[in-house]
């Protein structure tokens, strides 16, 4: 179990931030959690401590938003997500982190720039092929660095779902993906007693963060929710690109 007070100094706001993202912004806000906690411990430890908390957050998020879910989108994304989780399990001990973070950083930035500066286009429905592609990336990045919100947003945001439908679909999607992720984390020995005890210390923060996110999505306009999602996706892209360049250099 981690006893370093500096760890909890950064872990407490990180868990709250992730909870707010789970409750109201489809997980996009949570991309800062692993890098923040990694300031005081190894990234793999940070990810392992967070995973049980994410599964608990999912229970609260699904309980709040289960009435507003686009199941067609879930069915199109989940097969690819399962493949992505399996690939991540094989790559976690081999692929350099800078390569993964660099790819998702560049893709996120280009996606947002295209949305902001290209002529407006009508909402478009995603197909099974696109769902499989983005689902694979979602499963891959969600498993390795808990950053699946970025590729999932790249698939779902252009469809311009109603805000409650967007958040509810994200909640159910990541509840299923996080359950899948328990398998590779367990096989890699990441869910050891020390990490689980550390996660237990942070459990009381989970409902607080999710409730704050639910309050946000209920009080904010759909236009503001989408602006926040695209803004957070862009900032996430910059963050991951910076991490990638630093690690590579």
Q: Is the predicted pLDDT of residue 77 greater than 90, yes or no?
A: yes
* Domain boundaries, position 124: 5-248
Structure confidence at residue 125 (pLDDT): 59
Whether residue 28 is predicted with pLDDT greater than 60 in this model: the reply is no
| Residue 122 parent element (H or E) | none
- Into how many domains does the chain fold? 1
Q: How far is CA 166 from CA 55, 124, 146, in A?
A: 19, 14, 19
Residue 161 · residue 48 · CB < 8 Å: no
Task: Check residue 188 and give its pLDDT.
Answer: 85
- Residue 148 is classified by DSSP as T
Q: Say whether pLDDT at 99 is over 60.
A: yes
Q: For residues 62 and 173, give the distance between their C-alpha atoms in angstroms, rounded to a whole number.
A: 10
The pLDDT of residue 181: 93
pLDDT value of position 30: 63
The torsion angle over the Cα atoms of residues 27, 85, 78 and 69, rounded to 10 degrees, is -20
Instruction: State the maximum Cα–Cα separation within the chain, in Å, rounded to a whole number.
Output: 53
Q: Which residue has the tokens 């692929």?
A: 95
Do 8 and 36 touch, CB atoms closer than 8 A? no
Helices in 66-96 by DSSP H: which ranges? Answer: 71-91
pLDDT in tens, 31-64: 666 666 766 777 778 888 989 998 998 888 888 8
State residue 47's pLDDT score: 82
pLDDT tens for each residue of 194-237: 999 999 999 999 988 888 877 877 777 757 766 766 776 687 67
């Amino acid at each position: 179990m981690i006893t370093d007070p500096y760890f909890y100094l950064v872990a407490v706001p990180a868990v709250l931030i992730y909870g707010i993202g789970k409750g109201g912004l489809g997980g996009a806000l949570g991309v800062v959690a692993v890098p923040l906690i990694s300031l005081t411990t190894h990234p793999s430890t940070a990810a392992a401590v967070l995973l049980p908390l994410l599964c608990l957050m999912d229970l609260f998020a699904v309980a709040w938003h289960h009435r507003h879910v686009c199941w067609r989108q879930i069915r199109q994304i989940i097969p690819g997500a399962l493949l992505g989780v399996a690939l991540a399990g094989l790559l976690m001990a081999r692929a350099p982190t800078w390569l993964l973070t660099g790819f998702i950083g560049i893709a996120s930035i280009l996606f947002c720039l295209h949305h902001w500066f290209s002529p407006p286009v009508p909402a478009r429905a995603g197909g099974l092929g696109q769902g499989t592609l983005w689902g694979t990336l979602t499963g891959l990045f969600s498993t390795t660095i808990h950053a699946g919100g970025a590729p999932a947003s790249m698939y779902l945001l252009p469809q311009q779902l109603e805000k409650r439908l967007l958040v509810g679909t994200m909640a159910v999607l990541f509840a299923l993906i996080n359950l899948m992720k328990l398998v590779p984390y367990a096989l890699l020995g990441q869910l050891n007693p020390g990490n689980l005890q550390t996660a237990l210390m942070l459990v009381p923060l989970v409902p607080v963060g999710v409730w704050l996110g639910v309050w946000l999505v209920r009080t904010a306009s759909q236009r503001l929710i989408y602006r926040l999602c695209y803004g957070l996706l862009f900032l996430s892209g910059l963050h991951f690109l910076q991490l990638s360049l630093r690690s590579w250099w």
